[in-house]
Structure 1
Amino acid sequence: MQLTFQQCRPDDVHALRDFSYRTFNDTFAPMNTPATMQAYLEQSFNTNKLHGELSDSNSSFYFLYAGRELAGYLKLNESPAQTDINDPHSLEIERIYVAKEFQGKGFGYVLINKAVEIAKMRKKFYLWLGVWEKNHKAIFFYKKNGFYEAGAHSFFMGEEEQTDFIMRKDL
């Protein structure tokens, strides 16, 4: 199966919204209330917000295709679009998702490697991301890929405050 990347453009907003809704919901719905999930999905993945993110020159989205199927995506932020830290020497991975049907096939590694490649091309010293403290599967994955815990910050799911670990990978 051929894997290809496509940088998202503003006219990809509906595909991005639909894929974001599905993958975020698949990942976090079992650990949150339906009301909390719905509020977050509507707030974070509506087309107006995504249009703004796609138009931000400090953010970039990449779709990963397996053949013709959308299998995953990545959102990267340079300072000042970063959700925390805002270090011009870093690149934030704000979102990294693989569709359920493609999990366990190494696509997460492919996405991480794409982020590393882009960070090096942009002459960044490190990558960082926030990961929910209760998402043990993701924490294990990031540690396996050379990330380490470097702090924590609050993350809001609707009105509910949660804690994200900040994980860093030095390049």
Structure 2
Amino acid sequence: MTIKLKKCTHEDLQTLQEISIETFNDTFKDQNSPENMNAYLERAFNLKQLEKELSNMSSEFFFVYFHNEMAGYLKVNTNEAQSEEMGKESFEIERIYIKNKFQKHGLGKYLLNQAMEIAMDRKKKKIWLGVWEKNENAIAFYKKMGFVQTGAHSFYMGDEEQTDLIMTKTLL
């Protein structure tokens, strides 16, 4: 099994937008109205927004390739780039997005492990993420990987307020 990780640059902006829209839409379109989905996709994944995120020195994006095909990506944040105030000792996994056809190949676990390695290299003590309360498969996966629920926060899908569970793991 060939899995490779590549850090995203500004030259990857268009590709990042395409994979963001594809993976988010495929994952959540059946549980949300088309209006709210479109509003979210336009706000979160427009080129200006993604360029701003890519330019933030406290955020990093990584593409994952499976047998030389782009399969998904990882976004991680430190310091003020974290989507919640968690402090300097914390490291956020904001996105692990895998294309449908590449799911069930261990890529989510691979990206999670990569994120934990990056966090430990940076001497972070906690790693955390937000996951939609209705995404039972993801919640079960994160629990299996040693994360525990430590809180919750609001996530807006268009004009609908949803709840993301905050799950945290202490790093050794």
Could you state the TM-score of these two structures normalised by the residue count of structure 1? Answer: 0.98
Q: Which runs of 5+ in 1 are unaligned?
A: none
- 2:4 is the counterpart of 1:15: no
Task: Give the letter aligned to residue 134 of structure 2.
Answer: K
Distance (whole Å) between structure 1 residues aligned to residue 2 and residue 166 of structure 2? 32
Shift of 1:54: 0.3
Distance (whole Å) between structure 1 residues aligned to residue 66 and residue 138 of structure 2? 21
The residue number in structure 2 matching 1:155 is 155
The residue number in structure 2 matching 1:72 is 72
Q: Deviations over 1:71-102 (max 9, x none)?
A: 12100000101110331101100111111001
**1:90 and 1:169, CA in 2 relative to 1: closer, same or farther beyond 3 A?**
same
Distance (whole Å) between structure 2 residues aligned to residue 130 and residue 85 of structure 1? 13
Q: Following superposition of structure 1 onto structure 2, how do residues 46-125 of structure 1 map, counting pairs within 5 Å?
A: 46-125=46-125
Distance (whole Å) between structure 1 residues aligned to residue 30 and residue 100 of structure 2? 14
Distance (whole Å) between structure 2 residues aligned to residue 140 and residue 85 of structure 1? 25
Distance (whole Å) between structure 1 residues aligned to residue 47 and residue 67 of structure 2? 26
Distance (whole Å) between structure 2 residues aligned to residue 5 and residue 23 of structure 1? 18
Shift of 1:159: 1.1
Distance (whole Å) between structure 2 residues aligned to residue 32 and residue 89 of structure 1? 35
The residue number in structure 2 matching 1:129 is 129
Shift of 1:2: 1.4
Q: Deviations over 1:20-51 (max 9, x none)?
A: 00000011001000000000000000111000
Distance (whole Å) between structure 2 residues aligned to residue 72 and residue 146 of structure 1? 22
Q: Which runs of 5+ in 2 are unaligned?
A: none
Tell me if structure 2 keeps the 8 A contact 1:61–1:74: yes
Aligned length: 171
Distance (whole Å) between structure 2 residues aligned to residue 106 and residue 8 of structure 1? 21
Tell me if structure 2 keeps the 8 A contact 1:7–1:61: yes
Shift of 1:164: 0.6
Tell me if structure 2 keeps the 8 A contact 1:78–1:86: no
Could you state the TM-score of these two structures normalised by the residue count of structure 2? Answer: 0.97
How large is the Cα RMSD of the aligned pairs? 0.7
Structure 1 stretches of at least 4 aligned residues deviating more than 2 Å after TM superposition:
none
Distance (whole Å) between structure 1 residues aligned to residue 101 and residue 47 of structure 2? 25
Distance (whole Å) between structure 2 residues aligned to residue 160 and residue 87 of structure 1? 28
Task: Give the letter aligned to residue 108 of structure 1.
Answer: G
Task: Give the letter aligned to residue 59 of structure 2.
Answer: S
